[in-house]
Amino acid sequence: MLDNLFLLWNAPVLSVQLLVDGILIGAIFALAAYGMALVWGVMDIINIAQGEFVMLGGYVTFFLATAGVHPLYTVPLAAAALYCLGWGLYRLVVFRIVDQDMFISILATFGISISLQQLANELFQADVRTAESGLGSFFLADGLVVVSQIKVVAFFSALALGAGLFLFLKTSRLGRAIRATAQNARAARIMGIDTDRVFATTFALNAAICGAAGSLVVMTWLIHPYLGLAYTLRSFMIVTVAGLGNMGGVAFASLGLGAAENFAGFILGTEYQAAFVFSLLVVILMWRNLRLGRQRKHLK
């Protein structure tokens, strides 16, 4: 561990590589986290199946790419497929848990997550998959920093998707209805908004964003049936740090998490990278609790 730290100290260009890679992956985390914040804010549901949507989006791209379609063109298809899945899941299960206790919604979406994960494991096998984009790499700083072009493309696609969603929520009629429902579902219903349809759209949109994110993941990294939980917990962590409804915060926290994760993977060794992510979640929640506790004492 110390050796790796010294290595970073002696060769600062390695840090640049880690930072760039981390920030590029962070944009994809931001997509999933934004979806989670949307569902959480509008429907008051924490969707544990978030990571499974990412994973399934990845499989859509993987299978289309194996069939000969260029993976970059499959991003909207993955989003569309997951939109349908999200809509279906809402009509089947999720609408029953919207008004329920948060614990019930966590457990129910956990059940959905387990089902989807095991279904993927049965249908698609447990192998690690990736889709070749056929793009090359940029060589910076005399070839010491290598940035693969697909990661850059994925980064900007993620930004574009995020911006598109932001604009949709700000300007379109349906987007305004979604925001109104988030503010006060009951008042929105009185004003004539069909909140059930708003919820369905929100959940489906979330699934679509995650599907697009998964499609980018399979092109830049890899997917397998069991990667869902990590994305769910990352999203939760990002939303908790940024605060619900803070879009800029989500973006910054995601990029920061991507970078931190990469540095931790390098310093602690890749076998501890996942451990770092989950421990960070626990530490962040503890820290948040301490901070809130201090505020509460301050009040009296």
Partner 1 sequence: MTMATRTVLPYLLIGLLGLIAPYAAPAFRVQLALLWMMILFALTWDLGGGQMGYNSFGNVLFFGIGCYVPAVIQRDVFFRVEEYTFLGSAPPAVKYFAGFTLGLALAVGVAAVVAAVVGSGILGLRGHYFAICTLGVSVAAGEIASGWDYIGAGSGMVAPIFPGPPGQAGLFFYYVLFVLTVICFFTLKWLYGTRFGLAINAIRDDEDKAEAMGLHTTRYKIVAWCVAAVFLAPAGGAFGHLNNFIDRDVAFPGATVGVWMVLMAVLGGKGTLWGPVVGATIFHVTQELFWTYFLHWQRVALGLLIVVIVVFFPLGIMGWLRERWPEKFGETVDPVTLGESR
Enumerate binding residues for partner 1 (CB under 8 A): 46, 93, 96-97, 100, 102-104, 106-108, 110-119, 121-122, 229, 233, 236, 240, 269, 271-272, 274-275, 278-279, 281-282, 285-286, 288-290, 293
- Give min distance, CB of 265 to partner 1, in A: 11
Q: Please identify, using beta-carbon distances, which residue of 173 and 298 lies nearer to partner 1.
A: 298
Q: For residues 108 and 98, is the Cβ–Cβ distance under 8 A?
A: no
- Give min distance, CB of 142 to partner 1, in A: 34
Q: For residues 139 and 145, is the Cβ–Cβ distance under 8 A?
A: yes
- Give min distance, CB of 205 to partner 1, in A: 22
Radius of gyration from C-alpha coordinates of the chain: 20
- Give min distance, CB of 98 to partner 1, in A: 11
- Give min distance, CB of 59 to partner 1, in A: 16
Q: Please identify, using beta-carbon distances, which residue of 133 and 235 lies nearer to partner 1.
A: 235
Q: Please identify, using beta-carbon distances, which residue of 24 and 227 lies nearer to partner 1.
A: 227
Q: Please identify, using beta-carbon distances, which residue of 128 and 290 lies nearer to partner 1.
A: 290
- Give min distance, CB of 121 to partner 1, in A: 8
Q: Please identify, using beta-carbon distances, which residue of 102 and 128 lies nearer to partner 1.
A: 102
Q: Please identify, using beta-carbon distances, which residue of 116 and 150 lies nearer to partner 1.
A: 116
- Give min distance, CB of 275 to partner 1, in A: 4
Q: For residues 239 and 249, is the Cβ–Cβ distance under 8 A?
A: no
Q: Please identify, using beta-carbon distances, which residue of 187 and 275 lies nearer to partner 1.
A: 275
